[in-house]
Amino acid sequence: MTSTDQPSFLETELRRDYINEDHILAFAKALEADELTTLQDDSSPSLPGTPRPTHAERIRKVSALSDFAPINQRVKRRRRGLLPPRRRELLYHVVRWPLLGLLFLVIFFEFYAYVWIRQCVNALEWLLAWRGKKGKLRANLRQARTYEEWKEAVRIMDEYLGFDEWKQVDEDPYYDWTLVKKVYRSLRSFRAKDDARGVLGVLEVCIRANFAGIESTRIYSETFLGTKNLIESYLDEVTSALAYIRETSQLSPEEKRRFFRSANKNLGASALCLSGGASFGYYHFGVVPGTSAGGLVAAFVCTRTDEELKELLVPQLAERITACEDPFRWARKACWFTRGSLTFREAYQRTGRVLNISVIPFDQHSPTKLLNHLTAPDCLIWSAIIASAAVPGILNPVVLMQKMRSGAIVPWNYGSRFKDGSLRVDIPLQSLNLLFNVNHPIVSQVNPHVHLFFFAPRGSAGKPVAHRKGKGWRGGFLLSAAEQYLKLELTKNFKARYS
């Protein structure tokens, strides 16, 4: 066979399924097992030579029958009919349902008013700002297909609207411009004198999150491109100073290592977060912890190397994502995205990417769990994907599976069942900050019902207010105030309903 007759990597990869029938069968048995079934031998899968646990028939988990009796001692239970009834006021039974009906009626009218106000804002912005020359410039911006095209379009937009004048003025109440200027001058001076320890001392002061308020969104929402010239010059100087510290011979390797570790800790890390969204998960391929549909895309990215992703990110990939079915068929489909029964630890060792998938236990009082190579190193990724997509009413909660040293798989966390993590926390930013010091999340949010409530009355980063040269409120002060009030009222009423 000649080289031209050999199938390409893409064709070979798309034809593979990575399915391990023994693992699928073990998963099916775990789903069918009674929740009271436990493992005969509880041992860690991380220890070498660990025997494969086997399921015992109908062995009940230890549960406390009485706080004042030994575990295995029989305790007389009260008959259910003799249990004291829960005492509630008469008003609870009389007023509960009428009050809930009134609350839902209020929510309906508030939501209708909110949508109407948002449409009024859009109409006013189009009438007052996005016609004529500005409308053409905006159309050019939206038609940009590369970063360079977009950058040129927004540069022209800033120049036409006069936003460049704002960039040249250092003073602004939203950041400490005097401190930034002092640090900028100190770094330039020490670097010009070739004083490495002086540069190091200044960097130890300024290398931290939101130093002098330079990460405030307000100072990035006044223009389409960039921010104050002073801030951009300061960031360029910090970049040059870091490169200078790396290359200088005045500091020992141990001093450099200690400084960069400290700087990394102070600044924090970045993370790409992919939201849930069912079929809207297709949009994630156009943009890596994930939730629900985002977990599937994140798993695909974090189990392939850069070279493999360059070959596989093609339109034919969409054929692999189909509608949800029962957990067994989902397990077969998910195996391709995770390269078979890879665990979180194995995926991290293969690609160096940290995969996080959010799930919640079936028990409504248990906290959200963020699965990764630290919290669940031996958990199978495809089982986490299925659990993260288990929306109540569509897919039942499923058992997570873990891989033993022998290669066999058994239920993880004693067979507890898990479901879609986006039901409680769509983007687990708090857990990411706690585990990985993530301070700069990049969120790909594809849920349309979430986008509906995205509204920045004074503009957002890279999207200043369209009229009055970016100095006013979107739609005017009254409409912006009404939008904020109604959004708070809707949030309050939804919380009241759940409480």
Burial of 460 (0-12, 13-18, 19+ CB in 10 A): middle
* 349 & 428 share domain: yes
Average pLDDT, integer, range 383-393: 82
253 pLDDT band, cuts 50/70/90, is: very high
Give pLDDT, residue 66: 45
Single out the residue of 484, 297, 415, 400 nearest to residue 59, CA to CA.
415
Note the residue count of the chain: 499
* 309 & 427 share domain: yes
pLDDT tens readout for residues 175-231: 999 999 999 999 999 999 999 999 999 999 999 988 999 998 889 988 999 999 999
CA-based diameter of the chain, in Å? 87
* 365 & 331 share domain: yes
CA distance 271 to 83: 52
- Laid out side by side, the sheet with 369-371 consists of 369-371, 357-361, 417-420, 398-399
* 370 & 459 share domain: no
Given 172, 378, 420, 426, the catalytic residue: 420
Single out the residue of 382, 380, 357 nearest to residue 291, CA to CA.
357
Buried b (16+ CB within 10 A) or exposed e, 224-261: bbbbbebbeebeebbeebbebbeebeebeeeebeebee
* 195 & 323 share domain: no
* 236 & 284 share domain: no
Quote the number of domains for the chain: 3
DSSP label at residue 497 = H
Place of tokens 């969409």: 318
Domain C-terminal end among 220, 237, 268: 268
- Top-confidence residue, 349 or 452: 349
Given 292, 341, 431, 480, the catalytic residue: 292
In a domain, 427, yes or no: yes
In a domain, 444, yes or no: no
pLDDT tens readout for residues 138-190: 888 888 888 899 999 999 988 888 888 899 999 999 999 999 999 999 999 99
DSSP label at residue 131 = S
Give pLDDT, residue 37: 57
In a domain, 12, yes or no: no
Q: Which residues contact 395 (CB under 8 A, 6 or more apart)?
A: 324, 326, 327, 330, 386, 389
In a domain, 23, yes or no: no
Give pLDDT, residue 212: 92
Give pLDDT, residue 211: 92
Sign of the torsion formed by the C-alpha atoms of 282, 285, 291 and 295? positive
In a domain, 283, yes or no: yes
Q: Is 176 a catalytic residue?
A: no
pLDDT(447) > 90? no
Specify which of 250-254, 291-295, 319-323, 493-497 reaches the highest per-range mean pLDDT: 250-254
321 pLDDT band, cuts 50/70/90, is: low
Single out the residue of 296, 310, 417 nearest to residue 366, CA to CA.
417
Tokens of residue 468, six digits:
């009055």
Give pLDDT, residue 36: 56
Domain C-terminal end among 208, 243, 268: 268
* 298 & 375 share domain: yes
CA distance 12 to 6: 10
Sign of the torsion formed by the C-alpha atoms of 300, 301, 302 and 305? positive
Give pLDDT, residue 130: 79
Q: Is 233 a catalytic residue?
A: no
* 337 & 246 share domain: no
In a domain, 235, yes or no: yes
Q: Mind giving me the DSSP string for 207-256?
A: -STTGGGTT-GGGGSSSSS---HHHHHHHHHHHHHHHHHHH-SSS-HHHH
- Top-confidence residue, 234 or 274: 234
* 348 & 398 share domain: yes
Place of tokens 């400084």: 259
CA distance 282 to 279: 6
CA distance 412 to 395: 19
Give pLDDT, residue 38: 52
Give pLDDT, residue 64: 44
* 364 & 398 share domain: yes
* 412 & 289 share domain: yes
pLDDT tens readout for residues 21-68: 889 888 888 888 766 555 544 455 554 445 544 544 444 444 444 444
pLDDT(4) > 80? no
pLDDT(493) > 80? yes
In a domain, 87, yes or no: no
- Top-confidence residue, 48 or 345: 345
pLDDT(72) > 50? no
Percent of the chain with pLDDT strictly greater than 90: 31
Single out the residue of 278, 319, 270 nearest to residue 296, CA to CA.
278
Q: Beta strands 401-403 and 409-411: pairing type?
A: antiparallel
Q: Domain of 202?
A: 175-268
* 282 & 418 share domain: yes
Give the ranges where 268-380 is alpha helix by DSSP (H): 293-302, 306-312, 327-337, 344-351
| Mean pLDDT computed over every residue of the chain | 80
In a domain, 447, yes or no: no
